[in-house]
């Protein structure tokens, strides 16, 4: 990807982006490629969604009806809601290089022949909103947006939609409801958004990081993109680390970079006097990994093999000075608060787990609490809820019970949190 400017600097201007090769992919697509060949190039690249699910991007685009009989209008949406705890990669991309997202969104729109594109951004991202609004205006003025882009037959309007925001909007059909001005509840599927999405029309929703890969794939080809990886999943990935490491932050690295390398070389290892205990490898809604997993390649395939998910690729590190029960309790409280209340396992089950964990932290844990929590992880499992919020929330809980079981038992046995003074 084009190098982004640090968060305390200025965004890359239109001129700077063009000098770095920006909009070359768009020119190539509009003058040398059909929408179908753009789809095929992205499919061949192996690009998988960077928002957490990891679904094939090109395959997703191919589900949209094409041809003269296809419905009109069609829409593309950039999901810039980014409310996953521990995840801040999309903010960095939008603040540092907004034109990269705009070009990726235009290419996605061209590939499905959409005529309107939305950037659905959370309300708290004020700086990103300002820089995207300026970049969109620059793109219109330069002929990259609007009617007959770059003297082609393709036209596209782009709208920056500032959301009231909540975690539920990360689920694509809830995002569509929010974009339509409704409550952000998930929709029943099928039909899926590529067939019947925004206002009942074909719609593609992609994460910000997913879309910023697209201009480089189109400009340089799928072979080049696949060659960037160190593992079976192609391309690069923006990895992040937060917690008590020496250098928390973000790094664009080859897909498949080992977990240990990211934490020790790029994040600088643990702070002095602290020891690594575990990590949530892909944001808050992934299973803990521990010491034995540090040599795992950080890609979709290998992380799943050891019992977790790559998710957003932004890690939350647990150290030996932080209570794993308290950390888990904090995460479950967040997920309980963000539940839309649409289905019983989610709104009831998460609040029940929240209460049990809070009482355990306050010294009122009971011997049967662990059995209750284990039951909750099954109650919240995939297939029992309307969307993936509750199953994702169960992942840090079920893995904490597995790897930090003694810490939970100690809370109950001593009737206190051992980490509190």
Residue 213: asked if its preceding bond is cis (omega within 30°), the reply is no
pTM confidence score: 0.93
Residue range 130-161, pLDDT digits in tens = 999 999 999 999 999 999 999 999 999 999 99
Q: Are the C-beta atoms of residues 162 and 123 closer than 8 Å to each other?
A: yes
Q: Are the C-beta atoms of residues 411 and 355 closer than 8 Å to each other?
A: no
Compute φ and ψ for 156, nearest 5 degrees: -155, 135
Residue range 391-411, pLDDT digits in tens = 999 999 999 999 999 999 999
Sign of CA dihedral 50, 55, 58, 61: negative
Q: Which fold has domain 236-319?
A: Ubiquitin-like (UB roll) (3.10.20)
pLDDT at residue 5 tops 50: no
Does domain 14-226 bear CATH number 3.40.50.11540?
A: yes
Note whether 236-319 and 324-414 share their fold.
Answer: no
- Other C-beta atoms closer than 10 Å to the C-beta of 40 total 17
Task: Output b/e per residue, 126-161; b: 16+ Cβ within 10 A.
Answer: eebbebbeebbebbeebebbeeebeeeebebebebe
Residue range 36-65, pLDDT digits in tens = 999 999 999 999 999 888 899 999 999 999
Listed residue (314, 306, 242, 318) closest to 276, CA to CA: 318
Domain 324-414 CATH class label: mainly alpha
All structural domains of the chain with their residue ranges:
14-226, 236-319, 324-414
What is the band of 100 on the pLDDT scale with cuts at 50, 70, 90?
A: very high
Classified as helix, coil or strand, 312 is coil
């Amino acid at each position: 990807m084009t190098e982004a400017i640090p968060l305390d600097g200025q965004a890359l201007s239109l001129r700077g982006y063009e000098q770095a090769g920006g909009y070359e992919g768009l020119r190539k697509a509009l003058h040398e490629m059909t929408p179908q060949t753009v789809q095929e190039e992205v499919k061949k690249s192996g690009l998988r969604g960077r928002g957490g699910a990891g679904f094939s991007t090109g395959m997703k685009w191919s589900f949209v009806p094409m041809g003269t009989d296809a419905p009109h209008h069609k829409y593309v949406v950039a999901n810039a809601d980014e409310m996953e705890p521990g995840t801040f990669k999309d903010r960095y991309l939008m603040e540092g290089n907004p034109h990269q997202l705009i070009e990726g969104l235009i290419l996605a729109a061209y590939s499905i022949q959409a005529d309107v594109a939305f950037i659905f951004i959370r309300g708290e991202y004020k700086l990103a909103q300002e820089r995207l609004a300026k970049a969109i205006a620059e793109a219109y003025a330069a002929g990259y947006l609007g009617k007959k882009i770059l003297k082609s037959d393709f036209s596209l309007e782009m709208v920056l939609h500032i959301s009231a925001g909540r975690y539920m909007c990360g689920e694509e059909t809830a995002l569509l409801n929010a974009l339509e001005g409704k409550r952000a509840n998930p929709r029943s599927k099928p039909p899926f958004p590529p067939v019947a999405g925004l206002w009942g029309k074909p719609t593609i929703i992609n994460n910000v990081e997913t879309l910023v890969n697209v201009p480089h794939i189109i400009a340089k080809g799928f072979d080049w993109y696949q060659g960037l990886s160190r593992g079976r999943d192609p391309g690069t990935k923006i990895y992040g680390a937060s917690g008590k490491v020496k250098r928390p932050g973000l790094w664009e690295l080859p897909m498949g970079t080992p977990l240990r390398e990211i934490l020790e070389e790029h994040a600088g290892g643990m702070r002095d006097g602290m020891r690594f205990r575990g990590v949530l490898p892909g944001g808050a809604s992934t299973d803990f990994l521990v010491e034995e997993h540090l040599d795992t390649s950080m890609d979709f395939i290998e992380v799943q093999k050891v019992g977790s998910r790559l998710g957003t690729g932004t890690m939350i590190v647990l150290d030996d000075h932080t209570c794993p029960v308290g950390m888990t309790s904090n995460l479950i409280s967040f997920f309980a608060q963000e539940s839309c209340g649409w289905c019983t396992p989610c709104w009831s089950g998460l609040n029940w787990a929240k209460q049990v964990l809070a009482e355990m932290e306050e010294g009122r844990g009971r011997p049967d609490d662990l059995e209750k929590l284990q039951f909750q992880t099954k109650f919240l499992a995939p297939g029992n809820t309307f969307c993936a919020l509750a199953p994702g929330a169960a992942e840090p809980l079920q893995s904490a019970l597995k790897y930090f079981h003694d810490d939970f038992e100690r809370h109950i046995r001593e009737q206190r949190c051992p980490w509190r003074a």
